[in-house]
Chain A
Amino acid sequence: MKKVFVGVLVTMLLLPLFAFADSKPYEVVDVKDGGSIKGKIKSSGPVADPVLDIKKDEAVCGKSVPKQEYIISASNEVKNVLVVVEDVEKGKAIPKTDAVIDNQKCEFVPIVAIAYVGGKYIIKNSDPIFHNTSLGIILGEGKKRTVYNLALPNKDQSIEKPVKVPGLQIVQCDAHSWMRAYVYASKTPYATVTDAKGDFEIKDLLPGKYKVRIWHEGFGEVTKDVEVKAGQATALDHTFSKK
């Protein structure tokens, strides 16, 4: 009798846990014979990369810096394009890679990075000047929701923070207004950034239909429907054109 009573009580206690848990948490499963998405992102033509004037801390930062917004090869392949397979509910294990964001000569390195929820940000200052690194979920029209805002007053300082909030974030330094980078905090392993040849590959997806978000700082974004088949690589190419 007593055991039954306690059992009921414990169940009552645990109930809210289920009720308030994330409705669709990512589920890690063994992916055998998965498919992949592979492609190349191009620009319809060359786009000049803006040069930013620097008016502060010139001794460290220099007088001007390429923005590195449009890193486009001779054959119009675009680097630093974010490719995300959206709303994946289950698949392979999330990599244990940390997202390193370095303040180097008054620029963030890298410009576009992937972080994994549950992993870590490692935020560094390689400059002998003050930087503060602020991450914020992009809300459009220059608005954001701050995720972290951390001071790095000294050279070679490094701060580790857990990746808790998912989504696309802008990284800024309030002390140097031209500095910016982007980090996508992913709940799944299925997100990547294109290389200097505009290439990307997302492996080990369970077969099925997916929506793939292709985002670039300057060109904007598109979402494409992709069907992944077991043991096959589905091609996904896209050509942006500058408006």
Chain B
Amino acid sequence: MDMFIRRFLRMRILIAVLIAMCFSVSVYSADKPADNPEGKKIYDGWCAQCHGYKGDADSFTKDVSLPKPRDFTFGSFKFRSTPSGDPPTDADITKVIRNGNPGTSMPPWSRFSDAEVKAIVGHVKSFAPDTFAMETKPINVGNPPKASKEIIEQGKELFKTAKCVECHGNAGRGNGEKGWQADFKTDWGYGIAPANYTHPWELRNGSSLEDIFRTISVGLSGTPMTSYMDSIPDDKRWALAHFIKSLQLTRKLGLALKVRKTETLPSKPNDPAWEAVDYLDLPMGGQLMFDTRNFTPVITNVRVRGLYTSKELAILLQWIDKKPNDGSDGKPSDSIRIQFPINKLEGTELPYFFMGTGKAPVNLWQWRASDKDKVSSMTAKGPDKIEPKEKPEATVMATYDDGLYSVVFKKELKPAKDDPVFEAGKFIPFAVAAYDGQNDEDGNTRGAISAWYYLMMEPPMPLRVYVFPPLVSLGVLIAGIGLRKRLRKKKV
């Protein structure tokens, strides 16, 4: 009897294992298009509008998105954890669906259940059966070494010897010379620009240390980003990843910029003295209200700093442009504008945030790369009603260093008629529009724009700030000691 039960149990385990194995095989076959109506249904309902019903990205959105939606039929997949030449894993595709793709039109999809995502993945794979016929597994990422000055230095050296610098530029801003050859293209035949490492929010394949290590290791299939796994050993790739990670900007978002008073202003836009000055980052978006709209902006951030003296206010605007254009190469010139309301603020109402209106006009200062140190002052009553002013209200200085534009506008604080008024202690609204000539941005409507922000020129600290608080503290201390003594007496 006992023997029989044991044999029965053993057989049951064997059967269970065998059934489990059968099950996994049948799940694999369920990924075949014909067997996956659920995946097709969800894909057609939610994904096909961009990626096309046949997975070929033939859709309405292909002309209004940059990068364009992925054409799955090519079988090239940029974001993989697998070696160059291998297809992505299901987990890789799931990750893109779940997390979206930073800096692109691909949003994160949380509305689907895990089973639904699995069905979508199966349907996406069915568009490139050849690619997915190959077996693959993720590379071993292992444990990253800790960040240190030494490892970052080593990475910096490798950045040059591994020739990352040739495409991504000395400072990692994506402005390397070789990255801008005319036929620098993707598998899909589109032009492509090298990544700007300093903007982690633009890194499609993720911006963590592990993400960077993985990207260096296996490359981005279908792009010129090549795989270094076979040519640089693990520890050196980690050093490279640490260096690249160290280049990332810390974005400081907010509503207002503090502008400190100083004795003298830095003499140049790229003066290192600016680095110690507090900053505000303005996220930039495409202008979508007026023709010509910009659905494909490339300037994503403008960093603003300010300083003032008793006579002048200086505002520094910095942004990354991977390929500078001064108007001489057939492309429009790069340019930037800053705007202030003309009328004093009544309540909280601001002029329309892009170029104002007839009722609430704005002052514009514009700098163009083609005009070097010339500033254009204008009054705008809407994007089609911009009138130049005879007398410039401000002066401008500009530099371009290794992918970074730095432009300083300076304005005398002595008020003049119709000038924006800069008064210490007040919140002064400003907005910025930036234009990249390489992206055919025209210097007016087709550009990247910000919302309204405020700058506040901090009033110098009055003397009483240094006198009263210590006096109050002293008073509190004396009262406290007195109280303690009285309480002790009572107790006794």
Asked if A151 CB lies within 8 Å of chain B CBs, one says yes
Q: Assess whether B187 is in contact with A136, with CB atoms less than 8 Å apart.
A: yes
In the complex the two chains form, what is the Cα distance from A142 to B185 in whole Å?
9
Interface members, chain B 348-389 (any A CB < 8 Å):
none
Interface membership of chain B positions 145-161, coded 1 if the CB is closer than 8 angstroms to chain A and 0 otherwise: 00000000000000001
Interface membership of chain B positions 166-186, coded 1 if the CB is closer than 8 angstroms to chain A and 0 otherwise: 100000000001100111110
Residues of chain B with a CB closer than 8 A to A148's CB:
84-85, 227
Residues of chain B with a CB closer than 8 A to A149's CB:
84, 219, 221, 223-227
Given contacts A16-B28, A153-B163, contact A146 B187 (CB under 8 A): yes
In the complex the two chains form, what is the Cα distance from A9 to B23 in whole Å?
12
Asked if A96 CB lies within 8 Å of chain B CBs, one says no
Asked if A227 CB lies within 8 Å of chain B CBs, one says no
Give the interface segment out of B14-22, B61-69, B242-250, B294-302.
B14-22
Q: Assess whether B221 is in contact with A146, with CB atoms less than 8 Å apart.
A: yes
In the complex the two chains form, what is the Cα distance from A174 to B167 in whole Å?
10
Q: How many residues of A are counted as interface, with CB atoms below 8 angstroms from the partner's CB atoms? A: 39
A53 CB to nearest chain B CB (Å): 13
B230 CB contact (under 8 Å) in A6, A20, A147, A150: A150
Given contacts A143-B188, A153-B161, A174-B184, contact A134 B224 (CB under 8 A): yes
Residues of chain A with a CB closer than 8 A to B59's CB:
none
In the complex the two chains form, what is the Cα distance from A132 to B184 in whole Å?
13
Asked if A164 CB lies within 8 Å of chain B CBs, one says yes
Which of A5, A143, A177 gathers most chain B CB within 10 Å?
A: A143
B244 CB to nearest chain A CB (Å): 15
Asked if B141 CB lies within 8 Å of chain A CBs, one says no
Interface membership of chain A positions 139-170, coded 1 if the CB is closer than 8 angstroms to chain B and 0 otherwise: 10111111111111110010101001100000
Interface membership of chain B positions 182-209, coded 1 if the CB is closer than 8 angstroms to chain A and 0 otherwise: 1111011100000000000000000000
In the complex the two chains form, what is the Cα distance from A20 to B31 in whole Å?
12
Residues of chain B with a CB closer than 8 A to A48's CB:
none
Q: Assess whether A154 is in contact with B187, with CB atoms less than 8 Å apart.
A: no
Q: Assess whether A150 is in contact with B163, with CB atoms less than 8 Å apart.
A: no
Residue of A with least CB distance to B181: A177
Q: How many residues of B are counted as interface, with CB atoms below 8 angstroms from the partner's CB atoms? A: 44
Given contacts A130-B166, A146-B76, contact A161 B22 (CB under 8 A): no
A61 CB to nearest chain B CB (Å): 13
Q: Assess whether A56 is in contact with B227, with CB atoms less than 8 Å apart.
A: no
B231 CB contact (under 8 Å) in A5, A145, A154: A154
Interface members, chain B 18-50 (any A CB < 8 Å):
18-19, 21-22, 25, 28-29
Residues of chain A with a CB closer than 8 A to B222's CB:
145-146
Residues of chain B with a CB closer than 8 A to A2's CB:
11
Grouping DSSP codes into helix (H, G, I), strand (E, B) and loop, the B interface class, with mixed when no group exceeds half, is: loop
Q: Assess whether A150 is in contact with B84, with CB atoms less than 8 Å apart.
A: yes
Q: Assess whether B224 is in contact with A174, with CB atoms less than 8 Å apart.
A: yes
Residues of chain A with a CB closer than 8 A to B74's CB:
139, 143, 145
Asked if A175 CB lies within 8 Å of chain B CBs, one says yes
Residues of chain A with a CB closer than 8 A to B188's CB:
143
Asked if A13 CB lies within 8 Å of chain B CBs, one says yes
Interface membership of chain B positions 57-92, coded 1 if the CB is closer than 8 angstroms to chain A and 0 otherwise: 000000000000000001110000000110000000
Q: Assess whether B163 is in contact with A175, with CB atoms less than 8 Å apart.
A: yes
Asked if A12 CB lies within 8 Å of chain B CBs, one says yes
Residues of chain B with a CB closer than 8 A to A159's CB:
230-231
In the complex the two chains form, what is the Cα distance from A10 to B15 in whole Å?
11
Q: Assess whether A9 is in contact with B232, with CB atoms less than 8 Å apart.
A: no
Residues of chain B with a CB closer than 8 A to A143's CB:
74, 187-189
In the complex the two chains form, what is the Cα distance from A144 to B162 in whole Å?
26
Asked if B115 CB lies within 8 Å of chain A CBs, one says no
In the complex the two chains form, what is the Cα distance from A175 to B15 in whole Å?
57
B25 CB to nearest chain A CB (Å): 5
In the complex the two chains form, what is the Cα distance from A149 to B218 in whole Å?
9
In the complex the two chains form, what is the Cα distance from A154 to B233 in whole Å?
13
Q: Assess whether B231 is in contact with A157, with CB atoms less than 8 Å apart.
A: yes
Interface members, chain A 163-194 (any B CB < 8 Å):
164-165, 174-175, 177
Asked if B465 CB lies within 8 Å of chain A CBs, one says no
A30 CB to nearest chain B CB (Å): 29
Asked if B127 CB lies within 8 Å of chain A CBs, one says no
Residue of B with least CB distance to A125: B231
In the complex the two chains form, what is the Cα distance from A152 to B28 in whole Å?
37
Q: Assess whether B228 is in contact with A16, with CB atoms less than 8 Å apart.
A: no
A38 CB to nearest chain B CB (Å): 33
Residue of A with least CB distance to B178: A175
A153 CB contact (under 8 Å) in B187, B189, B231: B231
Residues of chain B with a CB closer than 8 A to A6's CB:
14, 18
In the complex the two chains form, what is the Cα distance from A136 to B223 in whole Å?
11
In the complex the two chains form, what is the Cα distance from A148 to B218 in whole Å?
10
B170 CB to nearest chain A CB (Å): 15
In the complex the two chains form, what is the Cα distance from A161 to B84 in whole Å?
10
Asked if B492 CB lies within 8 Å of chain A CBs, one says no
Asked if B478 CB lies within 8 Å of chain A CBs, one says no
Residues of chain B with a CB closer than 8 A to A146's CB:
76, 84-85, 187, 221-222
B175 CB to nearest chain A CB (Å): 16
In the complex the two chains form, what is the Cα distance from A56 to B76 in whole Å?
29
Residue of A with least CB distance to B225: A149
In the complex the two chains form, what is the Cα distance from A174 to B183 in whole Å?
9
Given contacts A141-B189, A149-B226, contact A13 B181 (CB under 8 A): no
In the complex the two chains form, what is the Cα distance from A112 to B466 in whole Å?
82
Q: Assess whether B228 is in contact with A151, with CB atoms less than 8 Å apart.
A: yes
A57 CB to nearest chain B CB (Å): 9
Q: Assess whether B84 is in contact with A177, with CB atoms less than 8 Å apart.
A: no
A93 CB to nearest chain B CB (Å): 23
Residues of chain A with a CB closer than 8 A to B232's CB:
151, 153
In the complex the two chains form, what is the Cα distance from A143 to B232 in whole Å?
29
Asked if B134 CB lies within 8 Å of chain A CBs, one says yes
Residues of chain B with a CB closer than 8 A to A145's CB:
74-76, 131, 187, 222
A20-B29, A157-B231 given; 14 more Cβ-contact pairs under 8 Å? A6-B18, A9-B15, A9-B18, A16-B25, A16-B28, A130-B162, A134-B224, A143-B189, A145-B131, A145-B222, A146-B187, A146-B221, A151-B219, A161-B230
Instruction: Give me 8 A-to-B residue pairs in the complex whose CB atoms sit less than 8 angstroms apart, sorted by A's number.
Output: A16-B28, A56-B178, A144-B187, A148-B85, A149-B223, A150-B230, A153-B228, A157-B231
The 6 tightest CB contacts between A and B, nearest first, are: A174-B224, A130-B163, A132-B226, A151-B226, A159-B230, A148-B85
